[in-house]
């Protein structure tokens, strides 16, 4: 039997590149036009959002700072504005400003609780600083520090904040209320070294001083000059009055009760304070004075 070769009936399309249909050419033109339009929109968007002045930061407001210098905050913000974001966009644009980087720098430089940075318009940001609450002002010689409620030095005062004058009977420390605030002022007579971020005294002493100051203001009319301690961790403190006499307190006892005893003594037994040298409240019910 004669065999015939099998034929391949696969369907194939043969196109002549010189004779394309009109619809195909139109689709190709529209695709190119679409890509061109999208490219122009992308470039325009990059310029509008990244390089135009529509969203430029022109105002930086600093709030909540008392010990943190406003000039330092502006310097850190301006340094951040000089950097780019994603290699393309200037951080002068409020949309690309990296606020958390500024907050981290401030927290690294200053002993503060936290920083909040928010947009307050198309051209402005507000930097709110939450500083650590100071408990007392600690003085050694001509140097002074703010201590927090744990006794840690959180900042050094400007020399103009406190004026220290030597007098014949000791050291008289004068505190301008407007510059250093209404904090108990303690003069450390030991001359111990104080470092920012390190403990200068015990938290017990700081808490006692805060309670003592409140009790003195509420229960007495004594005009206080300052307080002194012989050593930072000694459980006793001396109050120096502007009338010239001293009052000795025990830190591990209740400040309000000691002030009550002091006030009763001044009202009932010591009527003339001109020659008074000291009152000693460190021995409980046994009170000594001269």
Rounded to 10 deg, the angle between the 203-219 and 255-268 helix axes is 40
Q: Is the pLDDT reported for residue 9 higher than 60?
A: no
Q: Judge contact between 179 and 161, C-beta under 8 A.
A: yes
Q: How does pLDDT run across 58-79, given as a tens digit for each residue?
A: 999 999 887 788 888 999 999 9
Q: Is the pLDDT reported for residue 221 higher than 60?
A: yes
Fold of 59-131: Ubiquitin-like (UB roll) (3.10.20)
As beta bridge partners, residue 117 has: 127
Least Cα distance to 116 among 104, 129, 125, 105 occurs for: 129
Confirm whether pTM is higher than 0.75: no
Right CATH for 134-289 from 1.10.3470, 2.20.28, 3.40.1620, 3.40.50:
3.40.50
Domain segments of the chain as ranges: 59-131, 134-289
Evaluate the CA torsion angle 256, 258, 259, 265 in order and state its sign: positive
Rounded mean pLDDT, 243-262 = 93
Calpha distance 14→255 (Å, rounded): 104
- In the chain, the DSSP E strands lie at 59-63, 84-85, 89-90, 112-119, 124-131, 134-140, 143-148, 153-156, 163-167, 170-174, 185-188, 224-229, 236-241, 246-250, 278-283, 286-289
Q: Judge contact between 229 and 205, C-beta under 8 A.
A: yes
The residue with greater pLDDT, 236 or 67, is: 236
């Amino acid at each position: 039997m004669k065999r015939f070769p099998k034929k391949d009936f696969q369907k194939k399309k043969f196109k002549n590149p010189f004779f394309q249909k009109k619809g195909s050419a139109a689709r190709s033109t529209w695709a190119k036009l679409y890509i061109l339009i999208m490219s122009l929109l992308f470039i325009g968007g990059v310029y509008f959002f990244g390089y135009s002045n529509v969203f430029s930061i022109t105002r930086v407001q600093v709030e909540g700072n008392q010990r943190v210098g406003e000039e330092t905050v502006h310097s850190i913000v301006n340094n951040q504005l000089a950097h780019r974001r994603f290699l393309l966009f200037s951080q002068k644009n409020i949309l690309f400003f990296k606020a958390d980087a500024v907050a981290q720098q401030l927290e690294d430089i200053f002993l503060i609780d936290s920083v909040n940075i928010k947009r307050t318009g198309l051209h402005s940001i507000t930097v709110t600083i939450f500083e650590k609450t100071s408990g007392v002002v600690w003085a050694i010689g001509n140097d002074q520090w703010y201590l927090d409620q744990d006794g840690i030095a959180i900042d050094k005062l400007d020399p103009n904040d406190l004026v220290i004058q030597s007098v014949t009977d000791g050291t008289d420390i004068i505190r301008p209320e407007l510059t250093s605030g209404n904090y108990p002022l303690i003069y450390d007579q030991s001359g111990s070294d104080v470092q920012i971020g390190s403990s200068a005294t015990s938290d017990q002493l700081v808490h006692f001083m805060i309670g003592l100051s409140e009790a003195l203001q509420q229960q007495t009319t004594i005009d206080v000059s300052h307080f002194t301690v012989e050593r930072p961790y000694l459980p006793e403190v001396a109050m120096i009055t502007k009338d010239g006499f001293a009052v000795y307190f025990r830190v591990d006892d209740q400040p309000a009760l000691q002030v009550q005893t002091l006030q009763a003594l001044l009202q009932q037994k010591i009527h003339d304070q001109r020659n008074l040298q000291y009152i000693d409240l460190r021995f409980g019910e046994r009170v000594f004075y001269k």
